[in-house]
């Protein structure tokens, strides 16, 4: 018997000719061929994955694609940000050319956000642009990075500085793959789910307060709902502002602070992206409160929820780290979001009411950061 709760959900990201479906459900890898084949220009796909995800899901996905008439080959990259570099891109690109891809070949990104960003950028540039499909396997990738067409590699200056907007032809989020994702990665991905509520959907934040524990602990139906609602929010924002001329920047809520924290830890395992974003969102609430924009109770409510879900709420989470507020501010000032000495931040008037502020004084930011690192 199929539980009706676990039937796949299909959303659409409405971008005219570049629009695509986002399918969220269980057992999707084995059905991938039927879903993917009609979208392909040819009959060939190269699956790019990493060395953690490949051993778990490459065969089931390849079998699922082959069963639908898609011929596959694979490229496996090392896990981690080291693959999201010029060297990592070169390696993938030369292997694609070794495999004699043509312009009808599609790439399939099987993995977390790192594989997705790298594969998407490879697809944007190989042979001046070929199709690609996202098969996200981390919670972060399912709720965030696989949707919206931002692809990139890192520079030694900063993360994600070299990239392209290149929309996938389809996103297949198989909830079952989350069962093997390390718990800490699940919790980190959950931060981006909560982010979507905090930006523009207070009812979804309420839902997170009631269901966050079930998302983190692994209830598949609740996970599917969390992924669906997150993707729906993100797809709505991206459909309005594909290339981030305005509103899409809301999705960076907590990220200017978060990126600064990640830079200071050298993007090491001591602080995962989602964890950094959680701390960054708390700082954004604290800054908004300091500027008289947002009630203190809202900041407290978010903090309480993060702690309950197992997310960090402050930089003291990173054990043994001696934070330097000035160094953090310097990272933020060099972030691509800065202009004219003033800093652009996503601030909030309360839960679900984020907005873009282009005129934040560095002193106010320094005040909040100094308090956070002293705590
Ligand atoms: N393009 C965007 O819009 C966007 C948005 C947010 C984040 N990002 C990028 O995403 C990246 C982070 O993504 P991430 O958190 O998914 O990291 P990740 O790709 O490193 O995946 C996390 C870890 O989990 C492993 N893994 C993934 N799925 C698994 C599974 N099902 N079972 C077992 N292990 C699994 C991976 O091998 C890795 O070790 C960053 O580079 C960030 O810049 C991009
Ligand atoms: Zn993020």
pLDDT tens for each residue of 91-150: 999 999 999 999 999 999 999 999 999 999 999 999 999 999 999 999 999 999 999 999
Burial class of residue 243, CB neighbours in 10 A (0-12, 13-18, 19+):
exposed
Tell me what pLDDT residue 2 has.
44
The answer to whether residue 1 scores a pLDDT higher than 50 is no
- Region label for 266, one of left (φ > 0), alpha (ψ between -120 and 50) or beta (otherwise): left
Which tokens in the block code for residue 3?
A: 């539980």
Average pLDDT on 37-59 reads 98
Residue nearest to atom 41 of ligand 1 (CA): 114
Name the token pair of 98.
Answer: 């070794």
Task: Give the 3-state secondary structure of residue 323.
Answer: coil
Question: 192: closest CA among 93, 269, 275?
Answer: 275
375 against 223, higher pLDDT: 223
The yes-or-no verdict on residue 163 having pLDDT over 60 is yes
Q: How confident is the model at residue 363 (pLDDT cuts 50, 70, 90)?
A: very high
184 vs 167: CA distance, rounded Å: 29
Query: How sure is the predictor about 308, in pLDDT bands with cuts at 50, 70 and 90?
Result: very high
Token pair belonging to 281: 């969102």
Does the pLDDT of residue 305 top 70, yes or no?
Answer: yes
6: confidence class by pLDDT, cuts 50, 70, 90: low
Residues in CB range of 142: below 8 A, 6 or more apart: 24, 136, 173, 175, 178, 189, 227, 231
Strand partners, 72: 45
> Do the bridges between strand 20-25 and strand 150-153 make them parallel or antiparallel, or are there none, so unpaired?
unpaired
- Judged by DSSP in three states, 367 sits in helix
Show which residues are catalytic. 128, 150, 192, 234, 244, 248, 252, 255, 259, 273
Predicted local distance difference test score (pLDDT) of residue 339: 58
Distance CA 109, CA 36 (A): 13
Ligand 1 site, residue 180, Cβ cutoff 6 A = yes
> Hey, what domains does the chain have and what are their CATH numbers?
4-181 (3.40.50.1970), 244-374 (1.20.1090.10)
Query: Which residue minimizes the CA distance to atom 11 of ligand 1?
Result: 113
- Distance between CA 352 and CA 289 in Å, rounded? 15
- pLDDT band for position 51 (cuts 50, 70, 90): very high
Residues 79-89, mean pLDDT to the nearest whole number:
96
Q: How far from 194 is each of 27, 210, 220, 369, CA to CA, in Å? A: 25, 12, 18, 22
pLDDT at 334: 74
Q: Percent of the chain beyond pLDDT 70?
A: 97
186 Cβ closer than 6 Å to some ligand 1 atom: no
The DSSP annotation for 134-184 comes to EEE-SHHIIIIITSS-EEEE--SSSTT-EEEE---SEEEEEGGGGGGS-HH
Looking at per-residue pLDDT, the higher value among 157 and 254 belongs to 254
The finding on whether 282 has its CB within 6 A of some atom of ligand 1 is no
**For residues 121 and 89, is the Cβ–Cβ distance under 8 A?**
yes
C-beta neighbour count of 322 within 10 angstroms:
7
> Per-residue pLDDT for 81 more than 60?
yes
Q: Which ligand is nearest to the CA of 138?
A: 1
pLDDT at 267: 85
Q: What is the pLDDT of residues 269-288, one digit of tens each?
A: 999 999 999 999 999 999 99
Q: Is residue 53 in contact with ligand 1, taking CB distance under 6 Å? A: yes
Report which of 41, 252, 255, 238 is spatially closest to residue 129, judged by C-alpha positions: 41
pLDDT digits (tens, 9 = 90+) for 312-361: 999 999 999 999 999 999 988 875 555 567 888 999 999 999 999 998 99
């Amino acid at each position: 018997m199929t539980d009706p709760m676990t039937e796949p959900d299909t959303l659409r990201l409405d971008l005219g000719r570049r629009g695509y479906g986002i399918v969220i459900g269980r057992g999707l890898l084995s059905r991938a061929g039927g879903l993917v084949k009609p979208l392909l220009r040819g009959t060939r796909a190269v699956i790019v994955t990493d060395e953690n995800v490949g051993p778990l899901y490459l065969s089931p996905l390849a079998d699922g694609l082959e069963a639908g008439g898609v011929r596959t080959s694979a490229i496996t990259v090392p896990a981690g940000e080291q693959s999201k570099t010029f060297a990592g891109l070169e390696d993938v690109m030369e292997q694609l050319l070794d495999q004699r891809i043509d312009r009808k070949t599609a790439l399939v990104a099987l993995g977390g956000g790192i594989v997705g960003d790298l594969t998407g950028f490879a697809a944007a540039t190989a042979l001046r642009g070929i199709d690609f499909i996202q098969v996200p396997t981390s919670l972060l990738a399912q709720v965030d990075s696989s949707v919206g067409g931002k692809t990139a590699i890192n520079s030694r200056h900063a993360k994600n500085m070299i990239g392209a907007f290149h929309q996938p032809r389809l996103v297949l989020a198989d909830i079952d793959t989350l069962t093997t994702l390390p718990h800490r990665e699940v919790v980190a991905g959950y931060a981006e789910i909560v982010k979507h509520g905090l930006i523009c959907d207070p009812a979804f934040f309420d839902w997170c307060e009631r269901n966050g524990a079930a998302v983190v602990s692994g209830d598949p139906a609740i996970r599917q709902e969390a992924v669906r609602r997150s993707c729906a929010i993100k797809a709505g924002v991206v459909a309005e502002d594909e290339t981030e001329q305005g509103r899409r920047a809301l999705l960076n809520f907590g990220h200017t602070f978060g990126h600064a924290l990640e830079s200071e830890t050298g993007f090491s395992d001591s602080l995962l992206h989602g964890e950094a974003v959680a701390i960054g969102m708390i700082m954004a609430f604290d800054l908004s409160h300091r500027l008289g924009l947002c009630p203190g109770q809202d900041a407290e409510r978010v903090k309480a929820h993060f702690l309950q879900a197992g997310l960090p709420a402050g930089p003291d989470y990173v054990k043994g780290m001696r934070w330097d507020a000035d160094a953090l501010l310097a990272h933020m000032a060099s972030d691509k979001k800065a202009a004219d000495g003033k800093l652009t931040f996503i601030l909030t008037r309360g839960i679900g009411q984020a907005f873009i502020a282009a005129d934040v004084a560095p002193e106010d930011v320094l005040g909040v950061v100094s308090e956070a690192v002293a705590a």
